[in-house]
């Protein structure tokens, strides 16, 4: 039987090469072998403050990025999370019957995002991994392709699904996580100790898929580097260069060894110029596809995607409602 994958991106900022190489590129490759659902997880985005006008635009932009990357709406279901109400319904049920405060307190992403002010962030930010578990469990998902930062959340999803099944009998399929080792964690251009993040306070942190080409080049030229001048991959001692080499390798489809060879005897300046040009070529080609996609076409794709997703989600929620004892 054909297996199902589910994954999503929050429309919470400018999607970057970390989102692309860490997650979306894998999705494109998996379309041939799986039944795929790719969601624009807008209810995740509102766990932190959003400007409604900007959010509306980002939802369209995120779906456009899926399409420009090669997600094919004829083969894959692309939809907006808030269009399928069963996500929030299941999240509430899981909040009550499966999730425990202790589970959520362990989530490192919550600790990172809330920082010192844990008492003043939204309850939604704390509970968001439960909504993510609901997103996944609703669709009998077999595999969840994500970047490294989401692995802990998928593990929690597995635990919540198993706990529900133990209490009420087999209802949920327990999914596996899938990460692409070489691109699982792209680090910030301004700080190689922190992951590249679309909601970073500084735009010099990320390389956006829709960044103007000259700006993208500037970001690369300004990216922090390490001491020394040799171009070698050494994650422990040269983390910034290791990150840039990873991005270079992913954008050019060349091995890191091959790149190291090319830059023997050359310094960071030449290396960055090479990366800036490679990235420009990658972004020009991506943005050409992106700019041809019309907002209205995206809206139609999201609408019909939600109709298809809803059929699967409604079946699962009916099963859940029966099990927990509410009248249908």
Q: Which CB atom, from 22 or from 175, has the smaller least distance to ligand AQP?
A: 22
* Alpha-carbon gap, residue 113 to 18, rounded angstroms: 18
Residue partners of 169: CB distance under 8 A and separation at least 6: 323
Residue 163's nearest CA partner among 95, 87, 92, 85 is 95
Tell the smallest beta-carbon distance from residue 12 to ligand AQP (Å): 4
Tell the smallest beta-carbon distance from residue 279 to ligand AQP (Å): 16
Given candidates 47, 98, 150, 243, which one binds ligand AQP under the rule CB under 6 A? 150
Given candidates 25, 58, 87, 198, which one binds ligand AQP under the rule CB under 6 A? 198
Select which of 25, 58, 195, 217 is catalytic: 195
Question: How many helices, marked H, and strands, marked E, lie in the chain?
Answer: 14, 5
Q: Give residues 14-43 in contact with ligand AQP (rule: CB under 6 A).
A: 18-19, 22-23
Residue partners of 257: CB distance under 8 A and separation at least 6: none
107 near ligand AQP, judged by CB under 6 A: no
Q: Hey, is 310 helix, strand or coil? A: helix
Sign of CA dihedral 28, 39, 320, 91: positive
Q: Is 292 a catalytic residue?
A: no
Question: Would you tell me how many other CB atoms lie within 10 Å of the CB of residue 215?
Answer: 12
Q: Is 113 a catalytic residue?
A: yes
Two structure tokens written together for 261: 């060879």
List, in sequence order, every residue forming a beta bridge with 3; answer none if it has no partner.
34
Cα–Cα distances (Å) from 33 to 5, 142, 146, 236, in that order, read: 10, 12, 17, 37
Max CA-CA distance within the chain?
Answer: 73
Per-position x/- string for 110-149, each x denoting binding to ligand AQP as judged by CB under 6 A, each - no binding = ------------------------------------xx-x
Q: Which CB atom, from 50 or from 88, has the smaller least distance to ligand AQP?
A: 50
Given candidates 5, 9, 46, 293, which one binds ligand AQP under the rule CB under 6 A? 9
Tell the smallest beta-carbon distance from residue 168 to ligand AQP (Å): 29
Question: Would you tell me how many other CB atoms lie within 10 Å of the CB of residue 244?
Answer: 26
φ, ψ dihedrals at 190, nearest 5°: -95, -10
Tell the smallest beta-carbon distance from residue 265 to ligand AQP (Å): 31
Considering only the stretches 10-18, 212-220, 234-242, 302-310, report the one whose residues sit in contact with ligand AQP under the rule CB under 6 A.
10-18
208 near ligand AQP, judged by CB under 6 A: no
Could you tell me how many residues of this chain bind ligand AQP (CB under 6 A)? Answer: 20
Q: Is 289 a catalytic residue?
A: no
Tell the smallest beta-carbon distance from residue 184 to ligand AQP (Å): 6
Per-position x/- string for 157-196, each x denoting binding to ligand AQP as judged by CB under 6 A, each - no binding = ---------------------------xxx--------xx
Sign of CA dihedral 220, 226, 229, 230: negative
Q: Which CB atom, from 6 or from 320, has the smaller least distance to ligand AQP?
A: 6
Buried b (16+ CB within 10 A) or exposed e, 269-280: eebbebbbebbb
Q: Which CB atom, from 114 or from 171, has the smaller least distance to ligand AQP?
A: 114
* Alpha-carbon gap, residue 326 to 320, rounded angstroms: 9
Residues that bind ligand AQP (CB under 6 A): 9-10, 12-13, 18-19, 22-23, 146-147, 149-150, 184-186, 195-199
Residues marked active site are found at 113, 195, 198
């Amino acid at each position: 039987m054909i297996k199902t994958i589910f994954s999503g991106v929050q429309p919470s900022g400018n999607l970057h090469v970390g989102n692309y190489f860490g997650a979306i590129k894998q999705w494109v490759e998996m379309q041939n072998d799986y039944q795929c659902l790719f969601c624009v997880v807008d209810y995740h985005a509102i766990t932190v403050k959003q400007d409604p006008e900007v959010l509306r635009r980002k939802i369209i932009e995120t779906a456009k990025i899926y399409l420009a990357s090669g997600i094919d709406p004829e083969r894959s279901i692309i939809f907006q999370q808030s269009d399928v109400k069963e996500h929030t319904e299941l999240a509430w049920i899981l909040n009550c019957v499966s999730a425990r405060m202790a589970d959520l307190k362990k989530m490192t992403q919550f600790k990172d995002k809330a920082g010192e002010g844990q008492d003043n962030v939204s309850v939604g930010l704390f509970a968001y991994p439960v909504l993510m578990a609901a997103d996944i469990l609703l669709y009998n998902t077999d595999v969840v392709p994500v970047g490294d930062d989401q692995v802990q959340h998928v593990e929690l999803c597995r635990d919540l699904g198993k706990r529900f099944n133990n209490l009420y009998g087999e209802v949920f399929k327990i999914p596996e996580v899938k990460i692409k080792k070489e691109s699982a964690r792209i680090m910030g251009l301004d700080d190689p100790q922190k992951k590249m993040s679309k909601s970073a306070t500084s735009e010099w942190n990320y390389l956006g898929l829709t960044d103007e080409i000259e700006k993208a080049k500037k970001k690369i030229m300004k990216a922090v580097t390490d001491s020394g001048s040799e171009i070698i991959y050494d994650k422990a001692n040269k983390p910034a260069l290791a990150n840039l080499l990873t991005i270079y390798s992913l954008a050019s489809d060349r091995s890191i060894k091959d790149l190291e060879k090319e830059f023997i005897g050359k310094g960071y300046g030449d290396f960055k110029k090479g990366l800036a040009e490679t990235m420009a070529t990658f972004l020009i080609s991506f943005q050409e596809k992106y700019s041809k996609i019309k907002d209205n076409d995206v809206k139609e794709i999201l609408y019909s995607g939600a109709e298809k997703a809803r059929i699967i989600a409604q079946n699962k929620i009916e099963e859940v409602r029966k099990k927990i004892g509410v009248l249908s």
